[in-house]
Structure 1
């Protein structure tokens, strides 16, 4: 007898005996959620792998090799030392949290475009942008309290017995508001960018050209300005004095390329030809010719309790040309802060301006004058910048950033 398969013997509809597939048993909504979770995990893992690759030093050196691989860091203790510890690019430039890592990638996305376009593929091109890059890094380190430094360096664990006297004084309170490691320790891993006379003058010229003084506004002189008592004398070129860089002026009237201004300051008894920015401080604002002395409006005499010298508040109204003036002191402070950091941190730790009084800074900067690539106006403006932040100095001017 021949056996007939069950499905052939059956006269009814075919029935498959077995379980339905597990996928078919899942509701569509659950399948969608599971698929979404899978895609999310895959995307997260892919992003993590991509960011991790971007954080590797090999990736950094693919763009920055002209400078870094040339040996500029080989002499530094962070790269070559007795224990054999080595700091790599991500240790300082990438944060430890996921948010910091994403912020780093987003902030440097334009660098990838620049690399592909060969905008910074030589040491010369990178050096041209080095100061701008350094200023951004310094600003970021100031903002987060030099967190990358503190991952390795704990001030509480430092052996201060091995410090020099100057280091002991400066490290007395490393957590002082407004200060962090980078405040003093610029140039630890990378050479401090060089400030050239061209960059300095160009930065101030750009600020001056972008300024449009109006009546009632205040301006700061960034170059020496000729001072005239009358409009007729101005047009004839008969100067009665000079306004020096750093002087703050009130604009009274605008007449084409000329401004009628008011200068307020202090005169010391016996030195009437000089107007200073503060009583008892040699912060020169203007130098006057003898013919201009009668135009000065003096106030009551005041005796400086610290020195016994007699001073008087004065005001002077005159005319100056509108170029070489900036309406935003903060912008000037920003340029001067970069200049001070780059010039003075290239040879030694950057001292805080408050370590000297305004008068002491005069002698200090006079001794350094021949070492700086600045002209007379640039040196005067840098001196004024330091005097405005110096110790025992109370003033209402806006403080410099950072």
Structure 2
């Protein structure tokens, strides 16, 4: 054994000949080229349309939608395939995308979306994940084909040109306005409706013994404790209005609301002076029970306002202490209603009263119900730029 080790050490001490070095260099270079060639072939193969749609879950769903889109068939005859939109061109980001794609194999093995029904259940989550990635990279893959400096927006329809010009001026990214360009849009309402169901289910436990609660939806307000069927009541509390709990009696609450009343318009309580953020609409009878403060002039409008406080009864199930949950619900609804067609506007962009007109003008382009619109209006108004400055 020691003899073998000695011979091995002697072999290591021998100088390496030029021929040996050249052979090693050639073999190494050849091996590297072969490895790189194999690697390149694998990357190109996994970027092909045939590879992308080889999964049944892709073939039966998004591929069928893609075939009906301008990316598949158009006047110019230029076809964008899956990898053009979903895989970066630069080497580094491309390798990151390939590594991240391993999770697709994992979910394929799990059967997460292996039927059209399962796919539809997950469509909103899948779409939002892709949209978020595109927004984070400023729609990098879109811009690999669509160059802003090569775009002649005047060749578009007048409406499209106007929208495009405004989007470019604001620095919006492609996916802000072009969701659903290659695939069917998901049911955008499913996200916020699930959140609403969760909030309502958790409302009793979330409220507990909390002294301050928030209206989940428009709900009747009664001057006296109702017995039996509550009916319409003496007024309506609007979504996101906060109340102070005075008494709990089974599924009913006696609460106190505070806000502002415009002099001469005593049947409407609003959240802030000079701002039409509705908290409570009242019958003449209920309005007569409001405790009013000293009149104050609104410097912006010159109108006279008074603080107002009123007590009454409401259903406990229509209120929750989960303010954060309601905020998340409003944000999800805003994203679904406003972010599906264009970049989602931030509440602080406009004053509270202007939001009323904006939502009224845009409502016909959404699938929101009247109750959804009331909630969304309150959500935006309470976060408006003059409410932030006002301390709202």
Q: Same fold per TM (> 0.5)? A: yes
1:267 equivalenced with 2:241 (yes/no): no
| Contiguous gaps of at least 5 residues in structure 1 | 1-12, 27-36, 398-402
Counterpart residue number, 2:387: 395
Residues 153, 165 of structure 2: 8 Å contact kept = no
Q: Which one of 287, 293, 310 corresponds to residue 287 of structure 2?
A: 293
Shift of 1:246: 3.5
Deviation sequence 1:39-85 (CA, Å, 0-9, x none): xx9xx979988776655443432231212232x23343333334433
- Count of residues paired in the alignment: 353
1:149 equivalenced with 2:145 (yes/no): no
Residues 283, 358 of structure 1: 8 Å contact kept = no
1:337 equivalenced with 2:331 (yes/no): no
Give the Cα separation in 2 of the matches to 1:20 and 1:48: 42
Distance 1:306 1:19, change over 3 A: closer
Q: Which one of 191, 206, 223 corresponds to residue 198 of structure 2?
A: 206
Give the Cα separation in 1 of the matches to 2:195 and 2:382: 20
Give the Cα separation in 1 of the matches to 2:42 and 2:85: 19
Shift of 1:375: 4.1
Q: CA RMSD in A?
A: 4.4
Shift of 1:254: 6.5
Structure that is richer in helix per residue: 2
1:247 equivalenced with 2:228 (yes/no): no
1:359 equivalenced with 2:360 (yes/no): no
Residues 222, 377 of structure 1: 8 Å contact kept = no
**Structure 1 residues 2-401: aligned runs within 5 Å:** 21=11, 54-61=46-53, 62=55, 63-70=57-64, 72-96=65-89, 100-101=93-94, 104=97, 109-162=102-155, 164=158, 166-167=162-163, 169-171=165-167, 173-175=169-171, 179-195=172-188, 200-210=192-202, 212-213=206-207, 219-229=213-223, 232-233=225-226, 237=230, 239-249=233-243, 257-259=251-253, 261-304=255-298, 307-324=301-318, 325=320, 326-328=322-324, 329-341=326-338, 345=341, 352=345, 357-361=354-358, 363-364=360-361, 368=364, 373-385=367-379, 387=381, 393-396=385-388
| Secondary structure class of the residue paired with 1:112 | helix
Residues 297, 316 of structure 1: 8 Å contact kept = yes
Give the Cα separation in 1 of the matches to 2:39 and 2:154: 47
Counterpart residue number, 1:6: none
Shift of 1:204: 0.5
Give the Cα separation in 2 of the matches to 1:25 and 1:219: 86
Distance 1:251 1:339, change over 3 A: farther
Distance 1:24 1:248, change over 3 A: farther
Taking structure 2 as the reference length, what is the TM-score of the superposition? Answer: 0.69
Distance 1:360 1:113, change over 3 A: same
Larger radius of gyration: 1
Shift of 1:206: 1.0
Taking structure 1 as the reference length, what is the TM-score of the superposition? Answer: 0.68
Give the Cα separation in 2 of the matches to 1:389 and 1:76: 38
